[in-house]
């Protein structure tokens, strides 16, 4: 993508101009002249039922008015924040999907960080996954022209570019079919994306996993012909203020294992590595931005399949920290691989551990498709919640009630991997994870809902969303400032 700052309308080469509008069809900052030139526009907007409320979009032609051919009016509503701008920019771009040079005045909205947010929205809305279309049309690199006002600061542009690249990488990884992203292939993909970022990349293969007592990852991976592995990314700057560990669930396909899913529930299970994609993409972004924190990202990668070597319901696994788990349902596999990786992360005594996982259907039932569940220690949850709020990703806190721990008591092992009830499944899973984080500050994001979108909307694309990447990046930035 290319970003330009233009002072005036006349230098425009854009195919469309995206302009913000406040309720009552009042022009957004930088659009007074536009409204004067298009004297009839207000009336046309009114006729189209366009008020200027948040989420509204109207496209009008601007023939002969010394303007780009199409003007995209986007409603801003009364309370504008960075997420409003991201969404408005995304919705605007979506409305003129065919245009490669897009101008906007949205960056003139008087909020700190407006330019970066607008750029994120514009760029992310244009995301496509065409790798498997035989007739994919190659499109030119998009050009975004920021019109008038003060130019968007170079630093903000650079950051937005890193964000867009990271979110797009996460989306690509999620959208990739499972046949092409077995555990090792996934690790290689990430390693090549991390090239030049300064991250060091380490991959533990199955043999190493056995030597390191990682019984959870090995147990889940046992039913697949593609062996499991653990991907470890490390960012170690000279002056690090804090130490952050990220852990992402990386089930490259979740068939359920011997506790096989139904065909319908299996359809989207290539997305079950969204947590791993988010932490890896965030790690790359953190390294590229040179943030002053020490970071280790762990992606336990396995394919959950019902092959001849597969673990059986009733088998017992021994996790890295020595605790044992009775596997009653092989479809509750995410917590098993996370248990190993969390144990490993906790050994190094970081200031904060955050895990991200498409962990439970129950969390999706609770919060729907756009909001993730947030669990963890009292020290960690507010930090992650604040980061999510500034990133514009929605997380909602859920409890870890001590008296629910007995729901995962096992007859023969330290715990079992299901809660034994239809109710509170997201909590049962989180309570199991809690057994593996030691004394560390810890937060757990259950993103089973928002990791995937059933339809495209503003800057969110259909399919993999890259949810979590921006929250983790915000979190790392705020830790770097503490
Ligand atoms: N990967 C699924 C959770 C999931 C479901 C993610 C739908 C995204 C969309 C997870 O491994 C799983 O199958 N969990 C089971 C646990 C149950 C067997 C205790 C679930 O939630 O049904
Ligand atoms: Zn499962
Ligand atoms: Zn799963």
- How many Cβ atoms sit within 10 Å of the Cβ of residue 72? 25
Query: What pLDDT, on a 0 to 100 scale, did the predictor assign at position 139?
Result: 87
**For all residues of the chain together, what is the average pLDDT?**
96
CA of 220 to the centre of ligand 2 (A): 10
Handedness of CA 31, 32, 35, 36 (dihedral sign): negative
Q: What distance in Å separates the CA atoms of residue 307 and residue 294, rounded to the nearest whole number?
A: 39
CA of 318 to the centre of ligand 1 (A): 22
Catalytic residue, candidates 335, 416, 452, 470: 335
Structure-block tokens of residue 326: 């009775």
Q: Which of 350, 352, 333 is nearest to 472 (CA)?
A: 352
Does ligand 1 have an atom closer than 6 angstroms to the CB of 477? no
Does ligand 1 have an atom closer than 6 angstroms to the CB of 151? no
CA of 251 to the centre of ligand 3 (A): 6
Q: Which residues lie across from 229 on neighbouring strands?
A: 301
Ligand 1 closest atom vs CA 418: 19
Residue whose CA lies nearest to ligand 1 atom number 22: 361
Q: What distance in Å separates the CA atoms of residue 323 and residue 216, rounded to the nearest whole number?
A: 10
Query: What pLDDT, on a 0 to 100 scale, did the predictor assign at position 63?
Result: 78
Q: What distance in Å separates the CA atoms of residue 391 and residue 102, rounded to the nearest whole number?
A: 24
DSSP 3-state of 378: coil
Ramachandran area for residue 75 (φ above 0: left; ψ -120 to 50: alpha; else beta): beta
Give 423's DSSP letter.
T
Query: What pLDDT, on a 0 to 100 scale, did the predictor assign at position 136?
Result: 79
DSSP 3-state of 416: strand
Q: What distance in Å separates the CA atoms of residue 312 and residue 326, rounded to the nearest whole number?
A: 10
User: Is 249 in the active site?
Assistant: no
Ligand 3 (ion): residues with CB under 5 Å are 251, 254, 272, 334
Ligand 2 (ion): residues with CB under 5 Å are 254, 331, 333
Does ligand 1 have an atom closer than 6 angstroms to the CB of 83? no
Cβ–Cβ under 8 Å, residues 450 and 368: no
Phi, psi of 227 (to 5 degrees): -65, 150
For 217-237, write each residue's pLDDT tens digit. Answer: 999 999 999 999 999 999 999
Query: What pLDDT, on a 0 to 100 scale, did the predictor assign at position 39?
Result: 86
Does ligand 1 have an atom closer than 6 angstroms to the CB of 272? yes
∠388-167-381 over CA atoms, to 5°? 20
Query: What pLDDT, on a 0 to 100 scale, did the predictor assign at position 120?
Result: 98
Q: Over its length of 482 residues, how does the chain's per-residue pLDDT go in tens digits?
A: 999 998 877 666 899 999 999 999 999 999 999 999 888 888 999 999 999 999 999 999 987 778 899 999 999 999 999 999 999 999 999 999 999 999 999 999 999 999 999 999 999 999 999 999 998 788 899 999 999 999 999 999 999 999 999 999 999 999 999 999 999 999 999 999 999 999 999 999 999 999 999 999 999 999 999 999 999 999 999 989 899 999 999 999 999 999 999 999 999 999 999 999 999 999 999 999 999 999 999 999 999 999 999 999 999 999 999 999 999 999 999 999 999 999 999 999 999 999 999 999 999 999 999 999 999 999 999 999 999 999 999 999 999 999 999 999 999 999 999 998 889 999 999 999 999 999 999 999 999 999 999 999 999 999 999 999 999 999 999 999 98
Query: What pLDDT, on a 0 to 100 scale, did the predictor assign at position 12?
Result: 67
- Cβ within 8 Å of residue 207, ≥6 positions away: none
The contacts found for 286-289 with CB under 8 angstroms, 24 or more apart, are 286/235, 286/472, 286/473, 286/476, 287/194, 287/197, 287/198, 287/199, 287/233, 287/235, 288/162, 288/165, 288/197, 288/198, 289/159, 289/162, 289/473, 289/477
- Cβ within 8 Å of residue 215, ≥6 positions away: 317, 318, 319, 320, 340
What global pTM score does this model have?
0.97
Residue whose CA lies nearest to ligand 1 atom number 5: 361
Cβ–Cβ under 8 Å, residues 380 and 441: yes
Does ligand 1 have an atom closer than 6 angstroms to the CB of 362? yes
Query: What pLDDT, on a 0 to 100 scale, did the predictor assign at position 11?
Result: 62
For 437-470, write each residue's pLDDT tens digit. Answer: 999 999 999 999 999 999 999 999 999 999 999 9
Q: Which of 338, 348, 346 is nearest to 445 (CA)?
A: 338
User: Is 452 in the active site?
Assistant: no
Cβ–Cβ under 8 Å, residues 231 and 301: yes
- How many Cβ atoms sit within 10 Å of the Cβ of residue 317? 23
Catalytic residue, candidates 37, 261, 370, 405: 261
Ligand 1 closest atom vs CA 269: 1
CA of 165 to the centre of ligand 2 (A): 29
DSSP, residue by residue, 122-154: HHHHT----TT-TTPPP-PPPEEEEESSSPPPH
∠175-469-396 over CA atoms, to 5°? 105
Ligand 1 closest atom vs CA 268: 9
Q: What distance in Å separates the CA atoms of residue 254 and residue 178, rounded to the nearest whole number?
A: 9
């Amino acid at each position: 993508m290319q970003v330009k700052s233009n002072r005036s309308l006349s230098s425009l080469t854009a195919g469309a101009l995206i302009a913000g509008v406040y309720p009552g069809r009042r022009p957004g900052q930088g659009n007074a002249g536009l409204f004067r030139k298009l004297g009839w526009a207000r009336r046309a907007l009114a006729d189209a039922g366009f008020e200027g409320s948040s989420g509204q979009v109207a496209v009008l032609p601007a023939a002969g008015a010394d303007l780009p051919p199409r003007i995209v009016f986007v409603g801003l509503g009364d309370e504008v924040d960075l997420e409003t701008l991201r969404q408005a920019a995304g919705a605007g771009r979506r409305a003129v999907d065919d245009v490669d040079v897009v101008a906007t005045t949205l960056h003139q909205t008087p909020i700190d960080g407006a330019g970066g947010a607008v750029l994120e929205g514009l760029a992310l809305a244009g995301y496509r996954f065409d790798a498997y279309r035989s007739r994919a049309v190659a499109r030119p690199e998009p050009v975004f022209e920021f019109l008038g006002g003060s130019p968007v600061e170079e630093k903000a542009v650079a950051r937005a570019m890193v964000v867009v690249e990271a979110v797009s990488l996460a989306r690509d990884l999620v959208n990739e079919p499972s046949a092409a992203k077995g555990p090792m292939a996934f690790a290689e993909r990430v390693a090549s994306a991390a090239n030049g970022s300064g991250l060091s990349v380490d991959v533990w293969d199955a043999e190493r996993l056995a030597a390191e007592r990682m019984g959870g990852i090995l147990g889940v991976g046992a039913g697949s012909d593609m062996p499991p592995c653990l991907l470890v990314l490390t960012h170690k700057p000279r002056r690090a203020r804090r130490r952050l560990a990220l852990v992402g669930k990386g089930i490259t396909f979740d068939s359920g294992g011997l506790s096989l899913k139904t065909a319908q529930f299996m359809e989207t299970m290539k997305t079950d590595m969204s947590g791993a994609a988010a932490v890896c993409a965030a790690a790359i972004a953190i390294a590229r931005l040179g943030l002053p924190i020490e970071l280790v990202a762990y992606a336990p990668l396995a394919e959950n399949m019902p092959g001849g070597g597969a673990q059986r319901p009733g088998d017992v696994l021994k996790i890295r920290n020595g605790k044992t788990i009775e596997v009653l349902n092989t479809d509750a596999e995410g917590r098993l691989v996370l248990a190993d990786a969390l144990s490993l992360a906790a050994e190094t005594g970081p200031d904060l551990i955050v895990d991200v996982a498409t962990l439970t259907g129950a969390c999706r039932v609770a919060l729907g498709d756009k909001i993730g569940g947030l669990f963890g220690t009292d020290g960690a949850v507010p930090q992650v919640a604040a980061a999510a709020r500034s990133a514009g990703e929605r997380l909602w806190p859920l409890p870890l009630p001590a008296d629910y721990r007995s729901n995962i008591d096992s007859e023969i092992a330290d715990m079992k991997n299901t809660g034994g009830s239809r109710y509170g499944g997201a909590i049962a899973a989180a309570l199991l994870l809690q057994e593996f984080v030691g004394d560390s500050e810890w937060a757990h994001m259950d993103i089973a809902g928002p990791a995937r979108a059933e339809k495209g909307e503003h800057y969110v694309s259909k399919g993999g969303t890259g949810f979590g990447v921006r929250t983790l990046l915000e979190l790392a930035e705020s830790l770097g400032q503490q």
